[in-house]
Chains A and B, each alone.
Chain A
């Protein structure tokens, strides 16, 4: 049984169509990286899953049941945009309020446990309004974790954090996936971070899911390329561009050849044709970010979902 199964979901805000027949499948236990540009429909989809918006069409099933089912909804933990906290309350009081909302027995013990999970046990007495952005995001995750949810929906929890905040958040998310045994849907623009934790991916564009894949499939889809440096890069690039179908220069001035080719053959070819000496050469795979940019430019993933 899938944790989330969405079919032909549509949502309009007045004349604007936010979701246009979106399909989404999230297997149980997955950490689902939900990727898309601003306004592509990520947050709208997450709000619909959580019942905070009313869809115009389509179906949403959570753990095989309709998303409105009261039993299923009680299993969701959510952090959408900002955490829902009262700014004048302390972290502890906000947490206790959410524990009361969920009807959790042994609330104090449970709150202590989730605060420890998000590395916030020492800041429980702080007023929420005095917490930093990173702390607020972790408080939001702690709230979402109360009651051991079966599904955790996190909307861009990494965005806006500094390097240290991102590191802590990554550790927290890995801890959660290890010890809470829940399905996590996490949307983010920070693809480098997402790549380190996600087991599945969904890429949305213009309110439609354009690709869904596992991390393994993504790994296979991310093409291998040969990156090299020579002393005469412009001539080398022009020569290689005539022989291979896709040759580009990256931000570090490496010439990248995306065709399937052995590095030794490239070295030999450049030497024979241009008398150019290759100073550095390696093979690598494109990152999630590069794959995503490719896809957004109009490139088509192997497992792109057909409308």
Chain B
């Protein structure tokens, strides 16, 4: 019987790996759960905070700090440039929360390969690990992009239900679109961090999640500055290059780790 194996071809190998990863991603419940959480998160935040009244003068009168709530839908996406990152509801509860979710998603996605033993099937026939790293980075990025878009849709629906203003204000429509693209490209940074930690931790999911969350916390304060609501083309390019640089750099390290360490 003639063997169907041909000479190694990187592009073919990458193509098959991408096919496997995207097929897996869309056949596992995780991506839908994550997308669902991303969708319902802004709906719940916007509707619940509006229902509680927010910015309550009663609370202030009693000496309690008033809770700053959302008055505009786009506040749940990001804040305007030049404004300091506030440690209140509007400052913390926005799309940036999803980066932690993206990291968890990538960690689970990678760890599942090792926990199920599928990594044995993958790496026995793949002596070169670069296609795996590229494919996982792209799948992680795509998963992250889906979550950001789901959040965006959820924010619009939540805002409409809560009766919040859709006024684009100083940010402008183009700024909000650029902001969304910047946010999407930023997921590549978190996906590559999670991938790196996933390859280090392998089947130890808790370790990769813990590491990713810790690394995410370090970057978290920088995100509002890089991706303000009134983002410009420059912000998009900056996030794209940042995502690409992180992807390439950390991807190379992940590749090295996979090549130099035991896989089971």
CB of B127 within 8 A of CB of A70, answer: yes
A74 vs B263: C-alpha distance when bound (angstroms): 17
In the complex, whether B122 has a CB less than 8 A from a CB of chain A is yes
Chain A residues with Cβ below 8 Å from B17 are: 101
In the complex, whether A82 has a CB less than 8 A from a CB of chain B is yes
With CB as the reference atom, state the residue of chain B lying closest to A48. B262
With A54-B260, A71-B7, A148-B1 known as contacts, the answer to whether A103 contacts B15 (CB < 8 A) is: yes
In the complex, whether B220 has a CB less than 8 A from a CB of chain A is no
A131 vs B3: C-alpha distance when bound (angstroms): 29
For chain A, residues 10 to 63, give those with C-beta under 8 angstroms from any C-beta of chain B: 47, 50-54
CB of A51 within 8 A of CB of B16, answer: no
Q: How many residues of A contact B (CB 8 A)?
A: 45
CB of A53 within 8 A of CB of B264, answer: yes
CB of B263 within 8 A of CB of A53, answer: yes
A85-93, A190-198, A285-293: which lies at the interface: A85-93
The listed residue with most A CB atoms (<10 A of its CB), out of B13, B24, B123, B125, is: B125
CB of A97 within 8 A of CB of B23, answer: yes
For the residues of A in contact with B, the DSSP-based class is: loop
In the complex, whether A202 has a CB less than 8 A from a CB of chain B is no
- Partner pick for B20 among A78, A100, A179, A181, CB 8 A cutoff: A100
- Interface residue range, chain B: 35 or more
CB of B4 within 8 A of CB of A101, answer: no
For chain A, residues 59 to 99, give those with C-beta under 8 angstroms from any C-beta of chain B: 67-78, 80-89, 93, 97-98
CB of B263 within 8 A of CB of A89, answer: no
For chain A, residues 139 to 164, give those with C-beta under 8 angstroms from any C-beta of chain B: 143, 147-150
In the complex, whether A104 has a CB less than 8 A from a CB of chain B is yes
Chain A residues with Cβ below 8 Å from B122 are: 84, 101
CB of B5 within 8 A of CB of A75, answer: yes
- Give the B-binding residues of A (Cβ under 8 A): 47, 50-54, 67-78, 80-89, 93, 97-98, 100-105, 143, 147-150, 179-181
Q: Which 10 pairs show the lowest CB-CB distances between chains A and B?
A: A84-B117, A70-B8, A103-B16, A84-B118, A84-B121, A73-B127, A50-B124, A78-B124, A53-B262, A74-B5
A-B contact pairs, 20 of them (CB 8 A): A51-B124, A53-B263, A67-B127, A70-B128, A71-B7, A80-B120, A81-B117, A83-B117, A84-B117, A84-B122, A93-B27, A98-B121, A100-B23, A101-B121, A105-B4, A143-B121, A147-B4, A147-B5, A179-B1, A180-B1
